[in-house]
Every structure is written in C-alpha cells, then in structure tokens.
Amino acid sequence: MEKKASRRENECEEKNSNSEGSEQDKEYKTSLITLNVGGYLYITQKQTLTKYQDSFLEGIINGRIMCPFDADGHYFIDRDGLLFRHILNFLRNGELLLPEGFRENQLLAQEAEFFHLKVLSDAVKSRWEKEQLASRETTFLEITDSHDRSQGLRIFCNAPDFIAKIKSRIVLVSKSRLDGFPEEFSVSSNIIQFKYFIKSENGTRLVLKEDNTFVCTLETLKFEAIMTALKCGFRLLTSLDCSKGSIVHSDALHFIK
C-alpha cells in the first residue's frame, strides 16, 4: 500500500511539474511579439516594447492604441522599417548607439517623435547638433619644415572635404617638383612636412638638398591653394598674418564659402 501511495504521489508531482512547465512555455511564447514595420519583421519581448510608459509601442501592447494587423496576424506599423532597428536597439539598451558614419539623424528624430520616445528624440537631436557644430569648426592644413615648424604655410577652412582636396593637390605638385624623391616629405592627417626648408633672399623655398637646389617655392603652393579654392567656389576671407603686407608673403590663408 505504501508503494502504491508513493507512486501516486510521484505521478502527481510529475503532472504538476509538467503543467507548470507548459504554462511557463505558454507565458514565454505570449511574451514574444512580432512587429511588421514597413515590411520588415522584428521579433522582441513584450517587456522591451513596454519599457517606456505612454510610448506608442507601449500603448499598442497594452491596448490603449489601435493598430492594424498584417495577413499573418502581426502588428503592422507603417513606418521606416530600416530605421526601426535603431528604435528597438534604444529600447533594449536604454541609450543611443548608432553605427559609425550614420547620417540619417533628422529621419531618426522624426521616427522617435512618432513613437513618442522623447528621450530618444532628444538624444538624436543632441547628436545632430554636435555634428553640425563640428562641421562648422575650422579645419586646417599645415605645410611645414620637419626641423622648424615656424617656417611654412597654414591653410584654414571650415570644409574638411576642401582641406583634403587642397592637400592632395599640393602633394601632387610637390611630387612632380621633387621628381622621384618622395622621401623628402611626409604626409599625415593635417600636415605636409618637408625635410628641408631654408631662407633665401627671394623668400622661403622648399629645398630638395642642402646644396640649395630649389624645387618648389611656397609662393607656388599658395598659388595652387588659391586657384583650387576659387575653382571650388570658395573665397579668400583674409590673410591671417596681415603684418606681412601681402598675401604672397603671408604665412596663413583662410578660405570660406
């Protein structure tokens, strides 16, 4: 009798555990939500979508906001399906994390406003403003002597792409003048550094060797910079060193559009 009783108790326990397991499985399955956003399917948990109270997604899940269904019974939201990836990542992580080189800040801010996610909208706008400010900041190119950085030319402009274009043009001209001696100068992000600079009666010149063999004058590089700027629609704002009395003799040029 005792054996039979123990068997019944074990069977009851197994049934209870199985029923509890099946209920947990059901709860887990019902906590998964599939969204069709502009034709893109996203599967996430209910708790992720309801993270921010009074948001559009929280309202849909809790029944406060009516939402249509697609042919497969998924919630359908007629918004940008690709950008929704960033909306969902924000809900998961609690912070704005975007890929390097992301350029759709304005569109993402609009999506954040639609989904009533003010925290995300503010974060996107803040990021956008910082990028705009950075793009307006003056960038520069410095052409200098590796031994004496006070000797040379500095070119300033608020357009990084233009600085890159000026740099490539000056490198091209310098290589042609150096005629097979590329080791005589090096190029980094914002500096072209020549091996030799000397002073002569006619002004500062770029020199290939210590025997004073002239290969390229700073005046030539200034002319190339100014001509490139004019072709690109920029204008020379002012010489940053007016004490020289002439653009030709100035140590710095400032271009704006």
Whether pLDDT at 20 is above 60: no
Domain that holds residue 59: 24-134
Which of 111, 134, 157 is where one domain is finished? 134
Q: CATH number for the domain including 109?
A: 3.30.710.10
pLDDT band at 152 (very low <50, low <70, confident <90, very high): confident
Q: Are residues 155 and 85 in the same domain?
A: no
pLDDT band at 36 (very low <50, low <70, confident <90, very high): very high
3-state secondary structure the chain: CHHHHHHHHHHHHHHHHHHHHHHHHHHHHHHEEEEEECCEEEEEEHHHHCCCCCCHHHHHHCCCCCCCECCCCCEEECCCCCCHHHHHHHHHHCCCCCCCCCCCHHHHHHHHHHCCCHHHHHHHHHHHHHHHHHHHCCEEEEEEECCCCCCEEEEEECCHHHHHHHHHHHHHHHHHHHCCCHHHEEECCCEEEECCEEEECCEEEEECCCCCCEEEEHHHHHHHHHHHHHHCCCEEEEECCHHHCCCCCCCEEEEEC
Contact (CB, 8 A) for 67 and 78: no
Single-letter amino acid code for the residue at 149: R
Q: Are residues 150 and 223 in the same domain?
A: yes
Q: Are residues 127 and 187 in the same domain?
A: no
Residue 18 in domain: no
Neighbours of 111 (CB within 10 A): 21
Q: Are residues 80 and 155 in the same domain?
A: no
Residue 204 in domain: yes
Q: Are residues 109 and 45 in the same domain?
A: yes
Residue 188 in domain: yes
pTM: 0.49
Q: Are residues 155 and 69 in the same domain?
A: no
Q: What percent of the chain has pLDDT over 70?
A: 64
Q: Are residues 126 and 148 in the same domain?
A: no
Residue 14 in domain: no
Q: Are residues 92 and 109 in the same domain?
A: yes
Residue 62 in domain: yes
Q: Are residues 39 and 130 in the same domain?
A: yes
Give the residue-averaged pLDDT of 234-241: 68
Residue 74 in domain: yes
Q: Are residues 119 and 148 in the same domain?
A: no
Residue 13 pLDDT: 59
Whether pLDDT at 137 is above 80: no
Q: Are residues 50 and 123 in the same domain?
A: yes
Count of structural domains within the chain: 2
The torsion angles phi and psi of 234, rounded to 5 degrees, stand at -95, 165
Contact residues for 141 (Cβ-Cβ < 8 A; gap 6+): 154, 155, 163, 166, 167, 170, 190, 191, 192
Q: Are residues 114 and 190 in the same domain?
A: no
